[in-house]
């Protein structure tokens, strides 16, 4: 089998890998739940390549992510639920429907994208999905229920807050949120002093949620902000490591005071 730019070849390769008789043992034994973590990982590796501006890596990582889509579609086809063609049809249907100002009739194109139209279309799609699941009229479905649970927690907090804000449930400005953050810190201190572990976890979560809210009001993405801080920490810690190596020492043998001194030196460089 030869490589190809045709998506059909990738679908053939996946079918061959999943063949119970002649396929790859590792691929054959996978299911949706075991593959899901790899799907998430590949999405993050696409993001990493974009942030590094590495177009060669981006091409490779997009291929890896596409493989995940084909993998899930193949398993669904084996189960008799849907196949890759159904996935393509679903997304093309959605994109055409959500862009009537591009793909609609002449009147729709001339009218352009009316304010609120995007949310109206998405709400209609949500209702249709509920009906397809035999859940039409289910009063237990809430306004925020379609914010995906599988999102990273910081991103999901942001999405929940953004959606609640659309109906007016929001702070008017960022400054009052600082007072809320100080309140949450006080409640966290109290829970810690009392040694209530479950309460500590809850108050810590409340504090993180409030911090996400503050960032949102200042136009900051919490995941992006934390990624930047993570990278800054890694860079500075590596400087500490290099400094110790220059003195003939290791991380394990160095004192906290020595590491802190090198850390402060690294901070002054940036």
Q: pLDDT, tens digit, for every residue of 63-119?
A: 999 999 999 999 999 999 999 999 999 999 989 988 888 887 777 666 666 656 767
Mean pLDDT of 199-206: 96
- Of 68, 100, 132, the residue that ends a domain is 132
pLDDT of residue 89: 96
User: Does residue 188 lie in a domain region?
Assistant: yes
Mean pLDDT of 133-152: 71
> Which is more confidently placed, 125 or 110?
125
% of the chain residues with pLDDT over 90:
71
Mark whether 162 and 111 lie in a shared domain: no
Mark whether 216 and 228 lie in a shared domain: no
Mark whether 127 and 19 lie in a shared domain: yes
User: Does residue 142 lie in a domain region?
Assistant: no
- Average pLDDT over the chain reads 90
User: Does residue 137 lie in a domain region?
Assistant: no
Contacting residues for 270 by C-beta, under 8 A, at least 6 apart: 232, 235, 236
User: Does residue 190 lie in a domain region?
Assistant: yes
pLDDT of residue 114: 62
Confidence of residue 205 (pLDDT cuts 50, 70, 90): very high
> Which is more confidently placed, 113 or 24?
24
pLDDT of residue 133: 64
Mean pLDDT of 50-59: 93
Mark whether 127 and 190 lie in a shared domain: no
pLDDT of residue 148: 82
Mark whether 114 and 19 lie in a shared domain: yes
Q: By the 8 A CB rule, do 46 and 62 touch?
A: yes
Mark whether 70 and 92 lie in a shared domain: yes
Mark whether 240 and 192 lie in a shared domain: no
Decide if pLDDT at 201 tops 70: yes
User: Does residue 241 lie in a domain region?
Assistant: yes
Decide if pLDDT at 136 tops 50: no
Mark whether 84 and 195 lie in a shared domain: no
Q: Return the minimum-mean-pLDDT range out of 58-62, 119-123, 156-160.
A: 119-123
Decide if pLDDT at 138 tops 60: no
If one counts the domains in the chain, the total is: 3
Mark whether 84 and 96 lie in a shared domain: yes
- CA separation for the pair 36, 18 (Å, rounded): 17
Structural domain containing residue 263: 224-269
Confidence of residue 244 (pLDDT cuts 50, 70, 90): very high
User: Does residue 139 lie in a domain region?
Assistant: no
Mark whether 67 and 179 lie in a shared domain: no
Mark whether 255 and 233 lie in a shared domain: yes
CATH of the domain at 36: 1.10.287.1080
């Amino acid at each position: 089998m030869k490589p190809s730019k045709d998506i059909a070849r990738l679908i053939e390769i996946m079918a061959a890998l999943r063949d119970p008789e002649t396929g790859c043992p590792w691929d054959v034994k996978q299911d949706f739940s075991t593959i899901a973590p790899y799907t998430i990982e590949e999405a993050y590796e696409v993001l990493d390549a974009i942030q590094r501006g590495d177009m060669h890596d981006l091409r490779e990582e997009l291929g890896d992510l596409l493989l995940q889509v084909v993998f899930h579609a193949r398993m669904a086809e084996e189960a008799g639920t849907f196949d890759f063609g159904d996935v393509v049809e679903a997304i093309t249907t959605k994109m055409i429907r959500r862009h009537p100002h591009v793909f609609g009739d002449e009147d729709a194109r001339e009218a352009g994208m009316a304010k609120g139209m995007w949310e109206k279309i998405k709400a209609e799609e949500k209702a249709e999905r509920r009906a397809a699941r035999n859940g039409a009229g289910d009063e237990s479905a809430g306004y925020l229920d379609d914010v995906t649970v599988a999102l990273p927690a910081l991103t999901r907090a942001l999405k929940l807050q953004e959606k609640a804000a659309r109906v007016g449930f929001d702070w008017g400005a960022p400054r009052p949120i600082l007072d809320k953050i100080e309140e949450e810190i006080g409640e966290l201190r109290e829970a810690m002093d009392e040694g209530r572990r479950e309460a500590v976890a809850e108050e810590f979560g409340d504090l993180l949620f409030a911090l996400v809210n503050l960032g949102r009001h200042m136009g900051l993405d919490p995941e992006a902000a934390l990624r930047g801080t993570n990278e800054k920490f890694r860079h500075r810690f590596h400087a500490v490591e290099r400094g110790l190596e220059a003195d003939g020492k290791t991380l394990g043998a160095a004192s906290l005071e020595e590491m802190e001194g090198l850390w402060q030196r690294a901070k002054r460089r940036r």
